Amino acid sequence: MGEGKRIPLWILAAFIFICTSSFQLLNASNDAIFYESFDKSFEDRWIVSQKEEYNGVWKHAKSEGHDDYGLLVSEKARKYAIVKELDAPVILKDESVVLQFETRFQDGLECGGAYLKYLRPQEAGWKSKEFDNESPYSIMFGPDKCGATNKVHFIFKHKNPKSGDYVEHHLKFPPSVPSDKLTHVYTAILKPNNEVQILVDGEEKKKANLLSSEDFEPALIPPKTIPDPEDKKPEDWDERAKIPDPAATKPEDWDEDAPLEIVDEEAEKPEGWLDDEPDEIDDPDATKPEDWDEEEDGEWEAPKIDNPKCEAAPGCGEWKKPVKKNPAYKGKWHAPLIDNPDYKGIWKPQEIPNPDYFELKKPNFEPIAAIGIEIWTMQDGILFDNILIAKDDKVAASYRQTTWKPKFTVEKEKQKEEEVETGSAGLEGYKKKVFDVLYQITDIPFLSAYKPKIVDVIEKGEKQPNLTIGILVAIVVGFLSIFFRIIFGGKKKPVRAEKKNTESAETSANKDGENKENKQKEETSGAAPRRRTRREN
């Protein structure tokens, strides 16, 4: 008998998913406060914003490669807004609350958000049919990627007990968004001890304290003291740690006018130098195009090519003696620095009690009365599914195993088979791991000031495979440079370059000295530049 055709693993996984997911969902407990599977059309349960600018069309559609339905962003470059009012408000006090949902960027993601807003009661001043970016929320959570932004947001709005204003508090150094087309599940666990955990695909990516100034910006609790705005720096306050030595004098043999470079009088013209041959000649194989019109295009000239006679010779054209570094050059003289006897340190205003300070044992979250999706995206194909609110992470974990894990397994197996078929499994898998690590590195706190530039370079590497190796090298060198700069600090002492024909002056020279030296260099080096210095001896 002939060998039967092998059934692809992803098809088997899909079959198992279909068989098991329905059974598991039927046996799910009632511990879920809210759950939306989008198995049925959303139109009778969710309200689409009627605001004019929110013209993106939501669709009830299958996730690509599955029979499982979700809520689909169907058009590019549109604003979308849709909301679901809860049967009863969710109280965010004294008990754990778990927020979880799945999203998939079926066409990839270059610029767009896929976050959820957990809205305050409508008494706060909003209506479902007028839902927009101004509608007041308690928590905003989910992925967002565009340009330098690449983060899983966790933002909560909190009423300042002193001023009465609602302030947004952003999670510092949030995790990055997975860069693929697979379904991912995002989980935020709020605990009574003020801890919040952010999970991506069930794996903890961030743990933070809601009251900590190290984890949220601005801090929920203001500092106890602030700099006194009325305090002024005394006029005689000296912040200079070092000063020029007033007792130092310029040595008598110090010549500030000595040029940086001088003509090498000992140099001799290399044997075989072709004085009468030009560096370039007309291309003898070039012919004027038949459609060349001299009245419109001007007189035709053959393109230039390197003179083949010069290839075997040390050089062509008029030979001139090269320049060399002037041993007598010392540059502008500066008095050496000494410790400033009047140094008092960097002045800071004195601290005074902060009139806006307040104490708080835990955040006073507003209840969640609705769940909204309000995004502006340049991408289509964003699919939302299995939105859950629960009191226990075990419930959320159960849903992840039931609804997300089987789909993810199917997609992962299919992706592997496609990579094998195209012969790129090893390279693509390696590249993905490398870029995932690079995105994780950008979350290191001491790199926060450089994150936008680093992310921009990483994204270019993802989009342009032919530049990937060079970009990776540049990123590694950049990381090391930033690391050593932070570890060792300051600037290194300038070192005089000994390389022949250098074009840079000593870093100790000031601008006036540099201008003068450059002028002397031009006068010394002669009028005609030598085009083939690589052939000179």
pLDDT exceeds 70 at position 522: no
* pLDDT tens, position by position, 350-403: 999 999 999 999 999 999 999 999 998 888 889 999 999 999 999 999 999 999
d(CA 17, CA 19): 5
Give the closest residue to 115 by CA, choosing from 81, 76, 84, 90.
81
Assigned token pair, 279: 């560096």
d(CA 528, CA 400): 74
At 438 the pLDDT is 75
* Percent of the chain as helix, strand, coil, to the nearest 5: 25, 25, 50
CATH T-level fold of 31-226+362-413: Jelly Rolls (2.60.120)
CB 375 within 8 A of CB 80: yes
The rounded percent of the chain whose pLDDT value lies above 90 is 51
Q: Which of 14-28, 102-116, 245-259 is predicted least confidently? A: 14-28
Most confident residue range from 262-266, 414-418, 461-465, 484-488: 262-266
HEC per residue, 185-238: EEEEEECCCCEEEEEECCEEEEEEECCCCCCEECCCCCCCEEECCCCCCCCCCC
The rounded percent of the chain whose pLDDT value lies above 70 is 76
pLDDT exceeds 80 at position 82: yes
CB 194 within 8 A of CB 210: yes
d(CA 79, CA 376): 4
pLDDT exceeds 70 at position 527: no
Assigned token pair, 488: 């060792």
At 423 the pLDDT is 64
* pLDDT tens, position by position, 21-48: 444 444 444 578 999 999 999 988 999 9
Radius of gyration of the chain (CA): 34
Q: Which of 177-181, 420-424, 509-513 is predicted least confidently? A: 509-513
Give the closest residue to 107 by CA, choosing from 143, 75, 135, 83.
75
pLDDT exceeds 50 at position 512: no
Q: Which of 23-32, 79-88, 165-174 is predicted least confidently? A: 23-32
| Average pLDDT value for residue range 148-170 | 92
CB atoms within 10 A of CB 14: 22
Say which amino acid occupies 99. Answer: L
Which distant-in-sequence residues (6+ apart) come within 8 Å of 186 by Cβ? Answer: 100, 101, 102, 103, 141, 142, 143, 152, 198, 199, 200
**Continuous H helices in 325-424:** 393-399, 405-422
Give the closest residue to 479 by CA, choosing from 504, 517, 500, 450.
450
d(CA 45, CA 85): 8
At 531 the pLDDT is 37
CB 173 within 8 A of CB 153: no
* pLDDT tens, position by position, 114-125: 999 999 998 888
Assigned token pair, 482: 């930033």
Find where tokens 């905003």 sit.
140
At 472 the pLDDT is 63
| Average pLDDT value for residue range 140-157 | 91
d(CA 182, CA 405): 11
| Burial per residue of 32-46, b for 16 or more beta-carbon CB atoms within 10 angstroms, e otherwise | bbbbbbbeeebeeeb
CB 136 within 8 A of CB 165: no
d(CA 300, CA 309): 25
pLDDT exceeds 80 at position 334: yes
Place 528 in a pLDDT band, splitting at 50, 70 and 90: very low
Determine the 3-state secondary structure of 397 from DSSP.
helix
What is the average pLDDT score of the chain? 81
| Average pLDDT value for residue range 155-166 | 92
Give the closest residue to 114 by CA, choosing from 155, 76, 152, 147.
152
Beta strands in 91-136 (DSSP E): 97-105, 111-113, 116-119
pLDDT exceeds 90 at position 441: no
| Average pLDDT value for residue range 292-319 | 90
At 483 the pLDDT is 60
At 6 the pLDDT is 53
At 369 the pLDDT is 94
CB 278 within 8 A of CB 239: no
At 452 the pLDDT is 74
At 400 the pLDDT is 93
d(CA 252, CA 240): 29
Determine the 3-state secondary structure of 399 from DSSP.
helix
| Average pLDDT value for residue range 452-478 | 66
Boundaries of every domain in the chain: 31-226+362-413, 443-484
d(CA 529, CA 501): 12
pLDDT exceeds 70 at position 505: no
d(CA 283, CA 305): 6
